[in-house]
Amino acid sequence: MATTNDKETKETAMSPEEVKALQKRLAAAEKRAEEAAAANDELRNAATEAQEQAKVLADQIQASAASGTVPAKPVIGKIEVEWEDPRKGSQKRTIAFKDGHTRVRMGQNIVGSAELIKIAQGKALTKAQLGQFPEMEEITQEEALEHLAKLVAIQYGGLKPIKKAKKK
């Protein structure tokens, strides 16, 4: 007498409908994982920005305590700008605004320096930032980059070059 496991096979075999349902659940789980990874990246970027801002503020507090002076408001953000120099050709430089240079003229408007850098980096402004500078809602990333390049080209005094850290 030969024994077969037909009964067990039938009980463990999945119908095509069950397979499709599991595939849909798998696809949904993969999509949620991708969304979570993107959100995680955004949070990491925000944490990095916050750490940079905290470092700037801590350095400023130390300098203020040592000198007994009131520090200028720091401008958070830096960006690499490319422009054409008539004598030297294409140039690149990483720049930031000096502390205290919180606003800059752009055409007929006065806009926030940190907000201008943020737009040039392709980031969106918060409602609070747009409330303070409503005209910045219409500025595109290309316009912001172009204006920063113009400021570098004319050697605007409110900018400071950022030196690249040397590798050890």
* DSSP at 135: G
pTM of the model: 0.61
Structure tokens at 118: 């943020």
CA end-to-end span of the chain = 78
> Binning pLDDT at 50, 70 and 90, where does residue 10 land?
low
Q: What are the pLDDT digits (tens) for 97-114?
A: 998 889 999 989 899 999
Specify whether the CB–CB gap between 149 and 81 falls below 8 A.
yes
Q: What are the pLDDT digits (tens) for 17-37?
A: 888 988 999 999 999 999 989
The domain limits of the chain are 13-67, 79-161
Structure tokens at 8: 């067990």
- Separation CA 91–CA 89 (nearest Å): 6
Q: Cβ of 75: how many Cβ atoms within 10 Å?
A: 24
